[in-house]
């Protein structure tokens, strides 16, 4: 890949370094292209020449590399070395067994994980962002990765800029480059040569990774992939993902186990060496012990479980971009959503057009349509305006524009029509009313005073009560020469009237909200729309709607006060983009796991702030880029389905973690103690490795295991204290039975070392594997049987473990068949252990005192959405 990079750099004419100082003609010549864009075959050729417009797939793990990565882990290296040493020192069989076991484990792991990761990647690609480029003379959408230098791009508000490009034409275009240049405010971009060589001065250039905030631009792609001014930094920034709470917790868990393992192994090794036991044997034993203790399947189990979760979610129309977010979705306790498109249908329609006195008059809608057609955004409102007055913009030309701004909630267009240039302002009614000094009634414009403004507000209120959302249209005849519109031009306006839109709730919304609520997820509406419209909708879909906080209310509250308010209020209106993310943070401050569902540029900050960002296919690029998951159908039903899948996935990961933390750890702990107490090794290193391999094999079915619906009823939160409690009960229980086995073997059956090891191997395998059936469920094992995959993997592993010692192959591992009486004794221990484990399980799961308050307050027990529910015992699943 580096070679390709270097080759591109060589080919790239130096003058393209600061391409914005060049004229378009020069660059057209350099890149051998033109205004009409590229032909398909030319583009394909350039794609091979310049490489894909993406960051070099450094992470694409080849099979070989995946194997090497595992082999180069310290434990594997030690094992490999140990195997080679024993082969060299005469124990050819022992040595090769170690090597074979190592190879099989790594192979199993690599295959499983590789396959899972690939399927997840394919799904993720299916929602990759698109770019609009001119190919064979017409604009079409292609994958961002296929954009090449020489392409003519069209970027519009809400897009992520796909490549470094020189602007050829623009309309009220501004770009947000904060992540690249540090400039906090959107900068205006327009054609025209620039002399300055610094990127900050390049007002005629677009940079890959920046965000198109407003307007529209046509530009010539100059640099793609890493070969851009901000290079890899741009895309790295765009994709920076702080590890999710779940990933951090898993990592933490791995660290705890690793430390314990290290301490134990060093202790065993030191003690044995001090007591003069053979050094190589002791080292091998210690290493085998370490292998046995390491939850080495954890990465595989989580990846496979999450990837399977992603596949199941895809079948339910949710595409997962960040795998770990599946768990976060299952943990979600509050879902914030914007209104249009999720709670209401995306197709808003124009219902009425009124003049300033409230009489029906098409003029307001017609002017709105002209503004929307000539200089609108891609939002639903503008689409409805254009559709509502077909052909209104005929005969009008655009002269200037002030793009719609979500903080000011208005935008304007300067257009020349039959009667000369006219400034048309449209936006949220209160924002536009504040700028009007007169109003049009019929054909006459009369002055507007405070009383008339109040009348207009009453009219808007009445429309809102009917469920109609309104925007206001105002105008001002333009005198003098036309130029780009500035905010200062939006004064002394004539109120033309109101456009009212029908935006009825989706038929499915109320049921989906009820379903989410039953699953412990509260819904909150965070809208930029009129609080009255929001209140009405909230009532219709079954949310608490007595109080609706509006943007100014929110602005007046301190962070602490807001954190209190958000607990009780479910509906918010007239929020700015920043207020949306402020509310998300306020909810998080009180321990909620917050999801945000939105589709607009105005939703991007909140999508980033939320623990899980959800967007929809067809949403603006920034929203999709900021989201962790993309819904293929914009419907809350889909979210509810996804929540179920997220929890299901988590329950399965937890099964493995619980097993590792209790049964496996308990067994290895007894092994360590026995190795110090006994005059001989309690199990040979090869036997421990075999034990570990078979145990891993038995758990391979966990990602595919069934989960009972009860187990996914409440949000699932990782809880390290709960896990410790579980391990604290189940671990010692397992060790206790191990010691009973030792005692019986030594003092009752007077076992020889080989018989001892074999008998203990059998006991250890049987208890470790069979206890899966108990630990995997919070209910009774016989009422909640495992899925076929887990049943098969565990029973096959168990069969191999139970049969192998009695076959000729068993001799190679140093096994010696124990006498029947001893076998019977072992069977008795196993059965008693399983019964005790089942009896003690409720204790391990419940614990006597409450876990501390806060984010991770409960474990596999459900998190309670309200304090009242806290008092009830969690359902058992």
Ligand X SMILES: Nc1ncnc2c1ncn2[C@@H]1O[C@H](COP(=O)(O)OP(=O)(O)OP(=O)(O)O)[C@@H](O)[C@H]1O
Closer residue to Mg ion (CB): 472 or 601: 601
Alpha carbon distance 266, 677 (integer Å): 16
Residue 471, contacted partner among ligand X, Mg ion, none, CB below 5-8 A by kind: ligand X
Q: Which of 159, 338, 355, 361 is catalytic?
A: 338
Q: Contact between 505 and ligand X (CB under 6 A)?
A: no
Q: Contact between 338 and ligand X (CB under 6 A)?
A: yes
CB of 607 to ligand X, least distance (A): 12
Closer residue to Mg ion (CB): 174 or 340: 340
Closer residue to Mg ion (CB): 86 or 634: 634
In this chain, which residue has its C-beta nearest to ligand X? 528
How far from chain centre, in Å, is Cα 3? Answer: 33
CB of 525 to ligand X, least distance (A): 7
Question: Site for ligand X (CB under 6 A): which residue of 160, 219, 320, 471?
Answer: 471
Part of the chain binding Mg ion (CB under 5 A), chosen from 65-73, 334-342, 573-581, 863-871: 334-342
The two beta strands, 522-526 and 444-447, are unpaired
Q: 377 an active-site residue? A: no
Question: Site for Mg ion (CB under 5 A): which residue of 176, 600, 613, 825?
Answer: 600
Question: Site for ligand X (CB under 6 A): which residue of 158, 215, 528, 731?
Answer: 528
Q: Contact between 529 and ligand X (CB under 6 A)?
A: yes
CB of 513 to ligand X, least distance (A): 15
Question: Please, are residues 137 and 36 in contact by the beta-carbon 8 Å criterion?
Answer: yes
CB of 600 to Mg ion, least distance (A): 4
Question: Please, are residues 753 and 684 in contact by the beta-carbon 8 Å criterion?
Answer: no
Residue 146, contacted partner among Mg ion, ligand X, none, CB below 5-8 A by kind: none
The two beta strands, 138-143 and 130-135, are antiparallel
CB of 576 to ligand X, least distance (A): 9
Q: Contact between 497 and Mg ion (CB under 5 A)?
A: no
Write the CA distances from 699 to 298, 384, 643, 731, 791, integer angstroms. 11, 55, 25, 18, 9
CB of 456 to Mg ion, least distance (A): 24
- Binding track over 596-625 against ligand X, x by CB under 6 A: ----x-x-----------------------
Q: Contact between 646 and ligand X (CB under 6 A)?
A: no
CB of 506 to ligand X, least distance (A): 13
Q: Contact between 692 and ligand X (CB under 6 A)?
A: no
CA angle 92, 97, 103 (to 5 degrees): 125
CB of 619 to Mg ion, least distance (A): 9
Closer residue to Mg ion (CB): 328 or 338: 338
Part of the chain binding ligand X (CB under 6 A), chosen from 303-311, 458-466, 524-532, 646-654: 524-532
Alpha carbon distance 269, 676 (integer Å): 9
CB of 534 to ligand X, least distance (A): 8
**Site residues for Mg ion, window 798-837 (CB under 5 A)?**
none
Question: Site for ligand X (CB under 6 A): which residue of 177, 216, 296, 382?
Answer: 382
Closer residue to Mg ion (CB): 608 or 876: 608
Q: CB atoms < 10 A from the CB of 480, how many?
A: 6
Part of the chain binding Mg ion (CB under 5 A), chosen from 278-286, 346-354, 598-606, 609-617: 598-606
Question: Which segments of 472-576 does DSSP mark as H helices, in order?
Answer: 509-518, 531-541, 551-556, 559-568
Part of the chain binding ligand X (CB under 6 A), chosen from 317-325, 372-380, 505-513, 589-597: 372-380
Which residue from 291, 329, 332, 289 is spatially nearest to 313, judged by alpha carbons? 329
Residue 648, contacted partner among Mg ion, ligand X, none, CB below 5-8 A by kind: none
Alpha carbon distance 519, 803 (integer Å): 46
Question: Please, are residues 566 and 122 in contact by the beta-carbon 8 Å criterion?
Answer: no
391-398 contacts, C-beta under 8 A, 24 or more apart: 392/366, 392/367, 393/369, 396/370, 398/171, 398/374
**Site residues for ligand X, window 798-857 (CB under 6 A)?**
none
Closer residue to Mg ion (CB): 85 or 540: 540
Residues in a beta bridge with 134: 139, 152
Please give the backbone phi and psi of residue 804, each rounded to the nearest 5 degrees, phi first: -50, -45
Alpha carbon distance 96, 237 (integer Å): 48
Question: Please, are residues 340 and 534 in contact by the beta-carbon 8 Å criterion?
Answer: no
CB of 518 to ligand X, least distance (A): 24
Question: Site for ligand X (CB under 6 A): which residue of 33, 97, 381, 804?
Answer: 381
Closer residue to ligand X (CB): 216 or 645: 216
Part of the chain binding Mg ion (CB under 5 A), chosen from 8-16, 123-131, 260-268, 595-603: 595-603
Q: Contact between 404 and ligand X (CB under 6 A)?
A: yes
Part of the chain binding ligand X (CB under 6 A), chosen from 4-12, 118-126, 373-381, 606-614: 373-381
Write the CA distances from 761 to 407, 756, 798, 816, 829, integer angstroms. 69, 8, 11, 11, 13
Residue 856, contacted partner among ligand X, Mg ion, none, CB below 5-8 A by kind: none
Residue 716, contacted partner among ligand X, Mg ion, none, CB below 5-8 A by kind: none
Residue 381, contacted partner among ligand X, Mg ion, none, CB below 5-8 A by kind: ligand X
By 3-state DSSP, what share of the chain in percent is helix, strand and coil, each rounded to 5? Answer: 55, 15, 30
Q: Contact between 377 and ligand X (CB under 6 A)?
A: yes
Part of the chain binding Mg ion (CB under 5 A), chosen from 194-202, 212-220, 330-338, 538-546: 330-338
CB of 576 to Mg ion, least distance (A): 13
Q: What size, in residues, is the chain?
A: 877
Q: Which residues of 843-874 are buried (b: 16+ CB within 10 A; e: fewer)?
A: ebbebeeebeeebbbbbbbbbbbeeeeeeeeb
Instruction: Give the CA diameter of the chain.
Output: 112
Which residue from 146, 124, 73 is spatially nearest to 239, judged by alpha carbons? 124
Q: Contact between 339 and ligand X (CB under 6 A)?
A: yes
The tokens for 27 are 């660059």
- What does the DSSP assignment read for 676-720? HHSSS-SS-HHHHHHHHHHHHHHHTTGGG----GGGGSS-----H
Q: Contact between 705 and ligand X (CB under 6 A)?
A: no
- Number of amino acids touching Mg ion (CB under 5 A): 3
- Number of amino acids touching ligand X (CB under 6 A): 20
Part of the chain binding ligand X (CB under 6 A), chosen from 60-68, 106-114, 119-127, 378-386: 378-386
CB of 626 to ligand X, least distance (A): 14
Half-sphere exposure of 632 (CA within 13 A, CB side): 16
CB of 535 to ligand X, least distance (A): 13
Q: Contact between 409 and ligand X (CB under 6 A)?
A: yes
Alpha carbon distance 472, 433 (integer Å): 7
**Site residues for ligand X, window 416-445 (CB under 6 A)?**
426-428
60 burial type by CB count under 10 A (0-12 exposed, 13-18 middle, 19+ buried): exposed
Alpha carbon distance 597, 78 (integer Å): 49
Q: Contact between 338 and Mg ion (CB under 5 A)?
A: yes
Which residue from 404, 406, 456 is spatially nearest to 429, judged by alpha carbons? 456
Alpha carbon distance 127, 624 (integer Å): 9
Q: Contact between 662 and ligand X (CB under 6 A)?
A: no
Closer residue to Mg ion (CB): 79 or 631: 631
Catalog residues that contact ligand X under the rule CB under 6 A: 338-340, 376-377, 379, 381-382, 404, 409, 426-428, 469, 471, 527-529, 600, 602
Which of the residues are catalytic?
338
Catalog residues that contact Mg ion under the rule CB under 5 A: 338, 340, 600
């Amino acid at each position: 890949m580096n070679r390709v990079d270097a080759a591109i750099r060589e080919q790239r004419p130096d003058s393209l370094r600061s391409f914005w100082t060049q004229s378009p003609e020069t660059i057209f010549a350099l890149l051998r292209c033109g205004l009409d864009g590229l032909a398909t075959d030319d583009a394909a050729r350039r794609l091979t020449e310049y490489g894909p417009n993406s960051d070099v797939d450094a992470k694409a793990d080849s099979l070989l590399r995946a194997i090497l990565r595992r082999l180069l882990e310290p434990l594997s290296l030690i094992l490999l070395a140990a195997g080679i040493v024993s082969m060299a020192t005469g124990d050819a069989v022992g040595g090769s067994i170690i090597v074979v076991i190592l190879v099989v484990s790594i192979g199993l792991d690599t295959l499983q994980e590789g396959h899972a990761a690939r399927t997840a990647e394919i799904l993720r690609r299916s929602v990759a962002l698109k770019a609009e480029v001119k190919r064979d003379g017409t604009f079409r959408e292609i994958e961002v990765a296929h954009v090449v230098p020489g392409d003519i791009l069209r970027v519009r508000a809400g897009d992520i800029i796909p490549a470094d490009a020189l602007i050829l034409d623009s309309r009220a275009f501004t770009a947000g480059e904060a992540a690249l240049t540090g400039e906090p405010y959107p900068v205006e971009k327009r054609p025209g040569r620039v002399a300055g060589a610094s990127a900050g001065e390049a007002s005629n250039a677009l940079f890959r990774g920046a965000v198109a905030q407003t307007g529209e631009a046509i530009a010539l792609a100059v640099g793609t992939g890493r070969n851009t001014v901000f290079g890899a930094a741009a895309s790295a920034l765009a994709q920076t993902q702080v590890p999710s709470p779940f990933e951090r917790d898993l990592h933490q868990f791995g660290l705890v186990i690793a430390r314990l393992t290290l301490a134990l192994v060093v202790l065993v090794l030191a003690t044995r060496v001090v007591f003069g036991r053979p050094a190589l044997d002791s080292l091998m034993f210690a290493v085998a012990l370490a292998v046995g203790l390491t939850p080495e399947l954890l990465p595989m189990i989580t990846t496979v479980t999450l990837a399977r979760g992603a596949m199941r979610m895809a079948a339910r129309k949710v595409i997962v971009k960040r795998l770990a977010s599946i768990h976060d979705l299952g943990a979600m306790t509050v879902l914030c959503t914007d209104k249009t498109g999720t709670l209401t249908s995306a197709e808003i329609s124009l219902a009425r057009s009124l003049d300033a006195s409230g009489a029906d008059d098409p003029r307001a809608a017609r002017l709105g349509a002209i503004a929307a057609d000539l200089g609108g955004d891609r939002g639903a409102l503008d689409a409805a305006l254009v559709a509502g007055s077909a052909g209104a913009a005929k005969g009008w030309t655009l002269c200037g524009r002030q793009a719609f701004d979500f903080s000011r909630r208005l935008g304007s267009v300067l257009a020349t029509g039959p009667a000369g240039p006219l400034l048309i302002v449209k936006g949220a009614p209160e924002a536009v009313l504040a700028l009007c000094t007169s109003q049009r009634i019929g054909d006459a414009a009369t002055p507007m005073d405070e009383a008339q403004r109040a009348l207009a507000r009453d009219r808007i209120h009445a429309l809102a009560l009917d469920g109609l959302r309104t925007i206001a249209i105002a105008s001002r005849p333009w005198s003098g020469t036309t130029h780009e519109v500035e905010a200062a031009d939006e004064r002394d306006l004539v109120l033309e009237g109101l456009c009212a839109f029908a935006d009825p709730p989706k038929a499915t919304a109320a049921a989906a909200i009820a379903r989410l609520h039953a699953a412990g997820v509260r819904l909150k509406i965070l809208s930029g729309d009129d609080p009255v419209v929001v209140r009405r909708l909230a009532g219709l879909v079954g949310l608490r709607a007595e109080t609706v906080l509006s943007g100014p209310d929110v602005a007046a509250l301190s962070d602490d006060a807001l954190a209190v308010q958000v607990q009780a209020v479910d509906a918010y209106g007239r929020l700015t983009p920043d207020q949306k993310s402020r509310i998300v943070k306020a909810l998080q401050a009180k321990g909620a796991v917050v999801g945000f569902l939105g589709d607009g540029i105005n939703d991007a900050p909140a999508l980033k702030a939320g623990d899980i960002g959800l967007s929809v296919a067809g949403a603006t690029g920034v929203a999709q880029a900021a989201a962790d998951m993309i819904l293929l159908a914009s419907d809350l039903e889909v979210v509810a389905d996804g929540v179920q899948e997220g929890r299901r996935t988590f329950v399965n990961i937890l099964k493995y973690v619980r097993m590792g933390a209790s049964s496996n750890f308990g067994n290895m702990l007894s092994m360590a103690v026995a190795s110090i107490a006994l005059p001989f090794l309690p199990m040979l290193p090869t036997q421990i490795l075999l034990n570990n391999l078979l145990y891993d094999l038995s758990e391979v079915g966990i990602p595919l295991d069934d989960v009972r619906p009860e187990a996914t009823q409440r949000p699932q939160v990782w809880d390290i204290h709960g896990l410790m409690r579980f391990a604290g009960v189940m671990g010692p229980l397992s060790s206790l039975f191990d010691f009973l086995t030792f005692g019986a073997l030594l003092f009752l059956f007077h076992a020889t070392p080989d018989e001892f090891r074999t008998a203990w191997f059998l006991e250890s395998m049987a208890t470790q594997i069979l206890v899966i059936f108990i630990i995997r469920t919070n209910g009774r094992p016989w009422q909640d049987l495992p899925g076929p995959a887990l049943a098969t993997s565990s029973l096959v592993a168990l069969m191999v473990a139970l049969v192998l010692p009695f076959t000729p192959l068993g001799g190679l591992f140093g096994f010696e068949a124990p006498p029947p009486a001893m076998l019977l004794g072992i069977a008795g221990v196993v059965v008693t252990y399983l019964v005790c484990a089942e009896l003690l399980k409720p204790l391990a799961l419940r614990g006597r005192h409450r876990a501390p308050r806060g984010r991770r307050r409960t474990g596999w027990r459900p998190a309670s959405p309200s304090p009242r529910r806290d008092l009830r015992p969690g359902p058992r699943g």
